[in-house]
Amino acid sequence: MNEQMIRIQLPDGSVREVSRGTTAYDVAMSISPRLAAAVVVARIRPLTPVTTGAAEEDETSEAAMYGGAESGERLVDLAAPLTEDVALELLKENDEAALKVVRHSAAHVMATAILELFPETKLGHGPATDSGFFYDVYRETPFSDEDLAAIETRMAEVVARDEKFLREEESREMGLKDYAEQGEFMKVHFIEKFTQPGDEISLYRNGKFVDFCRGPHVPSTGRVKAFKVTSVAGAYWLGDEKNQQLQRIYGTAFFNTKDLDAHFKRLEEIKARDHRVLGKQLDLFSIQEVAGSGLIFWHAKGGLIRKTMEDWMREECIRRGYDMVYTPHIMRRELWKISGHEGFYSQNMYPPMELDDAEYRLKPMNCPGHILIYKNSPKSYRDLPVRYAELGNVYRYERSGTMHGLLRVRGFTQDDAHIFCMPEQVVSEIEGCLDFAEAVLKTFGFNEYRVELSLHDPKKSGEFVGNPSDWEKAESALKNVLTKRGIAFKAIPGEGAFYGPKIDIKLVDVLGRLWQLSTVQFDFNLPARFELEYKGEDGELHQPVMVHRALFGSVERFFGVLIEHYAGAFPMWLAPVQVGIVPISEKHVDYAVAVKAKLEAAGLRVELDQRNEKMNAKIREFTLQKVPFVLVMGDKEAATEAVSVRTRGKGDEGSVALADFIERAKELVASKTVTL
């Protein structure tokens, strides 16, 4: 083929020969002008084997900063010249990647507006996020709500100008010189950190605004059609309180106002489901500042739900062949040195405590304790697998600004288990853990989940223990299990635990949000560090492998997710008060007391409101507390041994025999159904 020609492979498999330097927009136009008007950005992948790429690129490169690479699959501007044989996808507005591109472009539009209104401002960086975008800026005067409104108004003007996003290149040295003269200390830092001497750096221009950026961007500012500046927050430059105080201005953007409106409607729904608000409203838990941040106090109603969760988990563990164990909250520092936590995890642990015989540390994990139980007596191959489970309290040091209700805490209860097995048993044990994880999600009302396989990163060998061959075997075992079960997964290099790879299961809640909870981890490191053994069938001593698994993740976090998933309206079997009883008047109290006794005898959690209040006020109170059933009783009910049933979300269902209601309620609890 002529050296001036390249091949373009389209998604349908067809291949076109075009002149070198042809753009993705040119290809789109050749297919259909209508298509060219609809596409936002292009995704390309070289057709020739990639020898260097993102996986091998220095993490401090400019490409790493912007999530791209000079080779391998990547997004490019529609106007970018194509210079090699590539597979080409033309992405429209309905593509998730295109949405992130328009948000990145919206960040540039916002930065343009900021500098036009407040030219003294210095810029940091402005990436897209899963929910919008932000831009870090330095300005001595804090931005007010009025300033944010003015920025949004000016952004509309920038969009109306429909300025093209143009990519330019200049030498690194020129970029450093220009930004230094302008006092743009953050841009100087980024260029120095993410590029090397002799590099060309990429800049993006729209109108008079120019920004150091890798891109890509939408064709012009006019494509940023629906946006909103939402808030501003403080942050220190490079996270160091000794540095300048920056301001992070947040916003979001979509391709149309319908999606923008839906986004804010969803945010309102999220706000209404906030577990911190509902936790207070329903009297479930509290965080007492006098005791310390990130430490949870479980109130009576929250404690009932916790007991129900833990009882189910313990019973299920025993049914699946686990032994329940308990280990101390503090252990000698020497133990954590042996396990490797002292070296690899100490930043997340509380400082050592000097006691009379040694230094001790609060446990951040239960695994070393379970290992000591395993090691306490000789093991034979006939004993394996050994499965230890514990709902154990652990303590991890979270920085003060990172804690968030039940979701990010300093002390929590981990439903931890550790399986010690022979290498040939590990696949079946991991399968058993995945079965258990699916049972947890299904039982608690989650029908959808995503799976990630977290691997080690060979370039960051100092962050992981063990030799490469062990990692390869462990990662292969996890991949094979997921593949065998037909579970789709996303592999993420560098996110494995320091002692081995892991499978992370992220549930999807009723609002479509992902929550990281369940995890299954392979560990070949700790058995070696603690010199664990079992006597094999051959009479020789062998080293077992370990599987770590936590299915709630933590009781606190799982409970927080449950609150938000159900908006506090828990399924019958989890509800702290399952039935509320309302006598119409004082003369019906005796019958109400008798009904309460029969319901409690059937194993139901019941609350009787005997206050001298009107019936409707009592019903309203139970409704606000999201009680599944409210039973009202007067003369008619007392005479016929019946109850008038009001069901949460359905209203008044009329009078039914008490015995029939009890059977219905018992069935709802036994079946653990999420509906009433």
Active-site amino acid positions: 367, 396, 414, 416, 418, 502, 548
Exposed / middle / buried, residue 284 (Cβ in 10 Å: 0-12, 13-18, 19+): buried
- SS3 assignment, position 58: coil
Q: What angle do CA 272, 102, 255 make, to 5 degrees?
A: 65
Cα 110 from Cα 147, distance rounded (Å): 12
Cα 562 from Cα 556, distance rounded (Å): 10
Whether the ω angle into residue 216 lies within 30 degrees of 0, i.e. cis, is yes
Known binding residue 189? Answer is: no
- SS3 assignment, position 204: strand
Q: Max CA-CA distance within the chain?
A: 99
Q: Which residue shows structure tokens 């970029």?
A: 175
Known binding residue 433? Answer is: no
- Comparing C-alpha atoms, which of 383, 338, 391, 392 is closest to residue 364? 392
* Contact between residue 481 and residue 520 where contact means Cβ atoms under 8 Å apart: no
* Contact between residue 196 and residue 227 where contact means Cβ atoms under 8 Å apart: no
Cα 29 from Cα 34, distance rounded (Å): 8
* Contact between residue 632 and residue 615 where contact means Cβ atoms under 8 Å apart: yes
Q: Which neighbouring-strand residues pair with 515?
A: 507
574 token code pair: 């989890």
Question: CA quadruple 383, 384, 385, 387: dihedral positive or negative?
Answer: positive
* 222 phi and psi angles, rounded to 5 deg: -65, -15
336 token code pair: 């954590």
- For residue 166, give Cα distances in angstroms to 80, 208, 221, 319, 393: 10, 11, 11, 63, 55
Known binding residue 421? Answer is: no
60 token code pair: 């401090």
Q: Tell me the HSE value of 484 on the side-chain side, using a 13 A CA sphere.
A: 11
Q: What is the DSSP letter of 6?
A: E
Buried b (16+ CB within 10 A) or exposed e, 601-639: ebebbbbbbeeeeeeeebbebbeebbbbbbbbbbeebbe
* Contact between residue 179 and residue 124 where contact means Cβ atoms under 8 Å apart: no
Q: Which helix (H) or strand (E) holds 387?
A: strand 386-395
* Contact between residue 430 and residue 522 where contact means Cβ atoms under 8 Å apart: yes
Q: Checking DSSP bridges between strand 606-608 and strand 579-583, what pairing results, if any?
A: parallel
Cα 530 from Cα 335, distance rounded (Å): 10
Q: What stretches of 462-554 show up as alpha helix (H) in DSSP? A: 468-484, 525-529
Question: CA quadruple 53, 56, 62, 66: dihedral positive or negative?
Answer: positive
312 token code pair: 């189910």
Buried b (16+ CB within 10 A) or exposed e, 63-74: bebbebbebbbb
* Contact between residue 575 and residue 326 where contact means Cβ atoms under 8 Å apart: no
Q: What stretches of 32-161 show up as alpha helix (H) in DSSP? A: 33-38, 62-65, 96-117, 145-161
Q: Which residue shows structure tokens 């064709």?
A: 219
The backbone region for 85, taken as left when phi is positive above 0, alpha when psi lies in -120 to 50, beta otherwise, is: beta
| Binding positions | 367, 418, 548
Annotated binding site for Zn(2+): 367, 418, 548
